[in-house]
């Protein structure tokens, strides 16, 4: 923790307080990804393009900060964080495909299938997903008997009970699903599941007790809902370097409740997230400042 | 081992000697896959359609027979076998996509994307791949510390150093790759890697020694080459319920060497495979009869 950073109400005034940590994560990602072998390895180049383009690294940042806050100084936190980022990257590549959202832009750049072709995009997604599991199963600083539960945790968040199910529900939402509860379930699967896996992996490595583990799980779900609300709001307004209007015709909460109510819900979910976090971490823990800075950014959505 | 089966030269005369084992594997697969929840879960239905359609189950059959031949009676062999079948199924769904081979038929049925749409096909492949890793990481009859190396093994065969790389090379083979060595490398990645993972998982669970493990690895690579030769031959002639002519323009060995030489190589690879197998298993082991029956079928390719 950098004590020299001036703070007001616990919010860091130094926009770069977490810059160094983010950089360490990116450097680790870079080491873990295949080296670009020139034209012979476009799948590797696509994997790197997906994961090394500027990104917020929210899942790995939260995983590392939570693990450190729980007293772990294991370098495993970085590798597990990178694994969540690989699964997230794979899901973004697939979401953007012509047969899914057919997105042209992501983080201000042409989407991976537009840069490398659909076949390379699909193979890069599969390779990222597989590499995430290989990485978790091979993390040297975690004892072998603890690795298998971490793999299972990540797989549950990624597969047919998590991300995959959320993505399907998101694509095929029809009239039966036009309820706020149904949208919340889709959000929980599509975004909450991987946040939750990140928190549970941090808790496992840090040998957190059942209470802390449960609170971190609730924190992740609330933050996941907040992120989906934010995504809905920026889809209307543009921003974040993505296509706008991708959600037209989908039963987002904005269509159901109006933007004003969604903004209120976003704020309320962020408040809940911070309460669950406060149940685990003392107020001076860096993770609070990280989440507060995140919250401020999310609340700026129009 | 069913001693009542009449045998000539070690080849089973009972076409159903392995029927019961195959059925047990299919029943286990059925239990492991998500239950079809009606129209609400087309991804689950697509996963079942992919894996429960009639198939030869070669990877799990080899894994179980090798493991049992090495003295293991662990029920883990069945789960690990099912995991290899899930990875194989995922790779078939992806291979058939419009952006890859654009295949219309597989095992005499419309391909998964033709039955369920491209988006569901991609999600089902992602879910099968993820479920394979979850399954290996959770196999109750394997001690937790042994599970992580099995996950890593399967991931290495499936990802950017195995199946994914083989599929990319197969799709994008160009003039630089028109050598028999280059085609052999593609075959090793595309087919050999998963056969090898199956053998290495059987060896790990059965605590096989280094010699047996290395021989099984060589057996798997030879069998993988034989399968790719067989695939090339039937692609020319039709059969096996797949589209024909998919390989036109690809530098298959047939284009390089002619069908007669490929048939000779197929026979030679099968002979090598059986030699490596004989270095590990006594002649009366069922796995010999299984591989011999497989060899006879492969040699019938025109």
Tens digits of per-residue pLDDT, A65-100? 999 999 998 899 999 999 999 999 999 999 999 999
State the Cα angle at A154 between B29 and A276, rounded to 5°. 135
CB atoms closer than 10 angstroms to residue B3: 6
CATH of the structural domain B15-299, one choice from 3.90.280.10, 3.30.70.260, 1.10.600.10, 1.20.1560.10: 1.10.600.10
> Which chain A residues are closer than 8 Å to B130 by Cβ?
129, 155, 158-160, 164
> Which chain A residues are closer than 8 Å to B138 by Cβ?
148, 152
pLDDT digits (tens, 9 = 90+) for A239-280: 555 666 566 566 677 877 888 999 999 999 999 999 999 999
* Contacts of B104 by beta carbon, 8 Å cutoff, 6+ apart: B110, B111, B114, B243
Q: Residue B166 has what pLDDT? A: 87
Q: Residue B3 has what pLDDT? A: 36
CB < 8 Å from A in window 15-34 of B: 34
Which of B210, B78, B97, B95 lies closest to B135 in space, CA to CA? B78
Confidence of residue B11 (pLDDT cuts 50, 70, 90): very low
Q: Residue B6 has what pLDDT? A: 38
pLDDT digits (tens, 9 = 90+) for B26-78: 999 999 998 866 667 899 999 999 999 988 999 999 999 999 999 998 899 99
Q: Residue B269 has what pLDDT? A: 96
Is the model's pLDDT at A7 over the cut of 90? no
Is the model's pLDDT at B245 over the cut of 90? no
Comparing B185 with A61, the larger pLDDT belongs to: A61
- Whether residue B279 lies within 8 A of chain A, CB to CB, comes out as no
Element (H, E) at B150: helix B144-158
pLDDT digits (tens, 9 = 90+) for B275-296: 999 999 999 999 999 999 999 9
3-class secondary structure for chain A? CCCCCCEECCEECCCCCCHHHHHHHHHHHHHHCCCCCHHHCHHHHHHHHHHHCCCCCHHHHHHHHHHHHCCCCCCHHHHHHHHHHHHHHHHHHHHHCCCCCCCCEECCEECHHHHHCHHHHHHHHHHHHHHHHHHHHHCCCCCHHHHHHHHHHHHHHHCCCCHHHHHHHHHCCCHHHCCHHHHHHHHHHHHHHHHHHHHHHHHHHCCCCHHHHHHHHHHHHHHHHHHHHHHHHHHHHCCCCCCCCCCCCCCCHHHHHCHHHHHHHHHHHHHHHHHHHHCCCCCCCHHHHHHHHHHHHHHCCC
CB < 8 Å from A in window 136-155 of B: 136-138, 143-149, 151-152, 155
Is the model's pLDDT at B4 over the cut of 90? no
- Whether residue B94 lies within 8 A of chain A, CB to CB, comes out as yes
Q: Residue A188 has what pLDDT? A: 83
Which of A88, A131, A90, A147 lies closest to A113 in space, CA to CA? A90
What is the arithmetic mean of pLDDT over A158-171? Answer: 87
Is the model's pLDDT at B87 over the cut of 50? yes
Element (H, E) at B274: helix B259-278
Task: Tell me the fold of A13-299.
Answer: Farnesyl Diphosphate Synthase (1.10.600)
* Least confident segment among A18-32, B22-36, B111-125, B173-187: B173-187
Domain locations along chain B: 15-299
SS3 B15: coil
Q: Residue A242 has what pLDDT? A: 61
- Whether residue A278 lies within 8 A of chain B, CB to CB, comes out as no
């Amino acid at each position: 923790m950098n004590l020299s950073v001036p703070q007001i109400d616990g919010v860091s005034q130094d926009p770069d307080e977490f810059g160094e940590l983010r950089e360490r994560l990116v450097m680790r990602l870079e080491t873990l990804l295949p080296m670009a072998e020139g034209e012979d390895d476009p799948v590797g180049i696509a994997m790197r393009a997906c994961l090394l383009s500027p990104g917020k690294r929210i899942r790995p940042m939260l995983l590392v900060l939570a693990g450190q806050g729980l007293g772990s100084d294991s370098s495993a936190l970085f590798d597990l964080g990178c694994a969540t980022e690989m699964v997230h990257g794979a899901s973004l590549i697939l979401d953007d495909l012509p047969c899914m959202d057919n997105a042209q832009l992501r983080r201000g750049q042409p989407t991976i299938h537009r840069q490398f072709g659909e076949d390379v995009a699909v193979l890069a997604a599969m390779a990222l997903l597989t590499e995430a599991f290989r990485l978790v199963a091979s993390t040297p600083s975690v004892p072998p008997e603890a690795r298998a539960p971490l793999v299972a945790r990540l797989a549950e968040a990624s597969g047919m009970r998590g991300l995959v199910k959320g993505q399907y529900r998101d694509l095929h939402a029809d009239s039966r699903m036009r309820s706020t509860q149904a949208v919340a379930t889709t959000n929980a699967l599509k975004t909450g599941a991987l946040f939750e896996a990140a928190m549970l992996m941090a808790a496992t490595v840090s040998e957190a007790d059942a209470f802390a583990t449960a609170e971190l799980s609730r924190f992740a779900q609330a933050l996941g809902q907040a992120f989906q609300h934010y995504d809905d709001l920026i889809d209307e307004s543009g921003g974040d370097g993505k296509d706008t209007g991708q959600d037209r015709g989908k039963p987002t909460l904005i269509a159901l409740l109006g933007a004003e109510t969604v903004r209120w819900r976003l704020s309320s979910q962020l408040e809940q997230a911070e309460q669950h976090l406060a149940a685990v971490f003392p107020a001076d823990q860096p993770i609070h400042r990280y989440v507060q800075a995140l919250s401020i950014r999310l609340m700026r959505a129009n």
